[in-house]
Amino acid sequence: MRRCIFLLVAWIYTARSVPCIPRDFGNNGTVCVCNATYCDSTPELEVPDIGFYVHYTSSKDGLRFSRIDGVFNKELRADSESFRLDFDTTFQPIHGFGGSFSDAATMNIKTLSLDTQENLMRTYFTKEGSNYHFGRVPIGSTDFSTRSYTYDDYEGDVSLEKFCLADEDLLYKIPLMKKALEFNPEIKFFAAAWTAPPWMRTNNNYTGYGFLRNEYYQVYAEYHEKFLNKYEDHGIKMWAITTGNEPFYGMLSITYYNSMGWLPKDVGTWVANNLGPTICESRHNKTLILVYDDSTTGLVSYINETFSNELARKYIAGIAIHGYTDASISENVLDDTHENYPEKFLILTEYSNGSPDADTGIVPLGSWDLGENYILDIIENLQNWVTGWVDWNLALNKYGRPNWRGIYGDSAIIVDPETDEFYKQPKYYAIAHFSRFIPPGSVRIGLTDGLTSVKAVAFKTPKNETVVVMYNAYLTDRNVTIYDSRRGQIWLELPPKSIHTLIYY
């Protein structure tokens, strides 16, 4: 009887899901097409009673959040790879997943009709979509802007009297951030400056080899406070700020996009003497300070040097990292960093991959390979103490633009203003297989695997649901068994190139 009721409930939920409308652009994978009146979604999950599980699959072959409901088995199965859940071993608590409200992203979203914009924001920020809980926002311009600017480009304005938000904030970023807040009031925003105003820098430029001049350390801290004030005036509070995006680029004389160098000792001094006290004594005393905000090569020594300043270490809550370095490098440095400073959480604040084709100028729409790369990056980070994973531009156009430096990119959602459509790429589903089901406050739990060909990671959510995400990167099926000593076993046959999320009580 109970099973009948359950199957009926499952049927109702399945019936309410809106399927993907696929489109194939010939890049070894498909996108799902959304417009003003249509967008694929799956209803918020009501987890079934003990003894049953829900299994979602997305695959290179075109499955997108395809749902199957199952029952635990009691017998053993011989011919499969096995995973054993270990609820007594717990790792990091999770802060969440999200994407970035860059100038490029928000300008692109605003090229769509209001209804299509609504569908795009809904697909990222509601529980029927990605259930994003994070939004990163640049303080001023980045390379993904149409121009370089800061909020005080007036030489010598040390009192910051002329500090002023830009059109980019008022017309694009803030309205869309408010929209995101409507869909998810619990969303956490955090901000980072790519550079100080040029007049505060040693090379008087937005780019290139340059550092903050000593005499402006306090002014630059107040510049951050002003930014927090202005955004709060618009109803947006920041959960955290970082000490600046990618400090390594400003220490290289060959890179010419918005960036400012921070030597590890100097950033420690700035936090200890200026940024830390300024934020603590302001009305933003709850806003956290994160350090680093760069790729993990060099992470361990950088953090050691910064934290040799005890006061800086006290003010800094967490370590922000980017995902651009080779996987095998990052694993050890993440573990080492966690071991050295277990009280400081690690969070990935930026990753992206892909770029427009050199001949056509168009991004590889639908590429499963780029989605797979996201899946593997997320799993690896989660397996190594990282508490959150935040994608770069929420959206770009099919030329991967705009970027004033001409270094174009790719993103999980691509907008096409000509047709008033947007395309959800495999990367979108890659993140959503985690973000939807692993809310903030979830904790990673132990998962021992007999064989390592299938990648997997497991969590307990605040509601005591168990969530397991798995990826079969192979070109053949893989049979796997998941053992839960309390419930029994789940037997699955994972198709080639497929991602899976299992949820149960």
Q: Which residues are marked as active site? A: 246, 350
As measured in angstroms, the least distance from the Cβ of 88 to ligand NAG is 11
Residue choice 181, 479, 483, 496 for contact with ligand NAG (CB under 6 A): 479
As measured in angstroms, the least distance from the Cβ of 346 to ligand NAG is 26
Spatial CA neighbour of 174 closest among 211, 135, 124, 221: 135
Does 473 bind ligand NAG (CB under 6 A)? Our answer is: no
Q: Which is nearer to ligand NAG, 204 or 308 (CB)?
A: 204
Give Cβ neighbours of residue 277 (< 8 Å, ≥ 6 apart): 221
With contacts defined by CB under 6 A, name the span among 3-11, 30-38, 293-301, 398-406 that binds ligand NAG.
30-38
As measured in angstroms, the least distance from the Cβ of 40 to ligand NAG is 10
Q: Do residues 382 and 457 make contact, with C-beta atoms less than 8 angstroms apart? A: yes
Does 164 bind ligand NAG (CB under 6 A)? Our answer is: no
Q: Which is nearer to ligand NAG, 54 or 320 (CB)?
A: 54
HSE-up of 305 (CA within 13 Å, CB side)?
Answer: 12
471-479: long-range pairs with CB below 8 Å, 24+: 471/372, 471/375, 471/376, 471/379, 471/498, 471/499, 471/500, 472/496, 472/497, 472/498, 472/500, 473/372, 473/376, 473/497, 478/81, 478/453, 478/454, 479/77, 479/79, 479/80, 479/81
Number of residues in contact with ligand NAG under rule CB under 6 A:
19
As measured in angstroms, the least distance from the Cβ of 477 to ligand NAG is 5
Helix, strand, or coil (residue 44): coil
Each residue 416-455 as x (binds ligand NAG by CB under 6 A) or -, in order, gives ----------------------------------------
Q: Which is nearer to ligand NAG, 314 or 463 (CB)?
A: 463
Q: Which is nearer to ligand NAG, 3 or 23 (CB)?
A: 23
Cα separation, 173 vs 100, whole angstroms:
10
Does 35 bind ligand NAG (CB under 6 A)? Our answer is: yes
As measured in angstroms, the least distance from the Cβ of 25 to ligand NAG is 9
Cis omega (within 30 of 0) on the bond before 138?
no
Residue choice 48, 138, 208, 210 for contact with ligand NAG (CB under 6 A): 208
Q: Do residues 287 and 224 make contact, with C-beta atoms less than 8 angstroms apart? A: no
Neighbours of 262 (CB within 10 A): 25
Each residue 309-338 as x (binds ligand NAG by CB under 6 A) or -, in order, gives ------------------------------
DSSP secondary structure of 179-211: HHHHH-TT-EEEEEES---GGGBTTSSSSSS-B
Each residue 119-138 as x (binds ligand NAG by CB under 6 A) or -, in order, gives --------------------
Residue choice 28, 111, 146, 202 for contact with ligand NAG (CB under 6 A): 28
Does 493 bind ligand NAG (CB under 6 A)? Our answer is: yes
Residue choice 464, 475, 485, 486 for contact with ligand NAG (CB under 6 A): 464
With contacts defined by CB under 6 A, name the span among 168-176, 205-213, 289-297, 342-350 that binds ligand NAG.
205-213
As measured in angstroms, the least distance from the Cβ of 26 to ligand NAG is 6
Q: Do residues 390 and 98 make contact, with C-beta atoms less than 8 angstroms apart? A: yes
Angle between helices 299-307 and 327-340 (to 10 degrees): 20
As measured in angstroms, the least distance from the Cβ of 314 to ligand NAG is 15
As measured in angstroms, the least distance from the Cβ of 153 to ligand NAG is 11
Residue choice 114, 161, 285, 452 for contact with ligand NAG (CB under 6 A): 285
Spatial CA neighbour of 67 closest among 505, 504, 501, 411: 501
Strands 386-393 and 345-350: parallel
Does 205 bind ligand NAG (CB under 6 A)? Our answer is: yes
State whether the Cα torsion 85-435-491-473 is positive or negative: negative
Residue choice 9, 21, 317, 443 for contact with ligand NAG (CB under 6 A): 21
Each residue 247-266 as x (binds ligand NAG by CB under 6 A) or -, in order, gives ---------x----------
Cα separation, 301 vs 85, whole angstroms:
35
DSSP secondary structure of 244-274: -S-TTGGG-TT--SS--B--HHHHHHHIIII
With contacts defined by CB under 6 A, name the span among 36-44, 50-58, 218-226, 312-320 that binds ligand NAG.
36-44
Cβ neighbourhood burial of 432 (10 Å; 0-12, 13-18, 19+) = buried
With contacts defined by CB under 6 A, name the span among 126-134, 203-211, 340-348, 435-443 that binds ligand NAG.
203-211
As measured in angstroms, the least distance from the Cβ of 303 to ligand NAG is 27
Q: Which is nearer to ligand NAG, 161 or 418 (CB)?
A: 418
Angle between helices 327-340 and 368-382 (to 10 degrees): 20
Cα separation, 487 vs 464, whole angstroms:
14
Q: Which is nearer to ligand NAG, 26 or 185 (CB)?
A: 26
As measured in angstroms, the least distance from the Cβ of 476 to ligand NAG is 6
Spatial CA neighbour of 159 closest among 207, 211, 226: 226
Q: How far is CA 264 from CA 220, 257, 288, in A?
A: 17, 21, 19
HSE-up of 342 (CA within 13 Å, CB side)?
Answer: 3
Task: List residues near ligand NAG by CB under 6 A.
Answer: 21, 27-28, 35-38, 79, 205, 207-208, 256, 283, 285, 463-464, 477, 479, 493
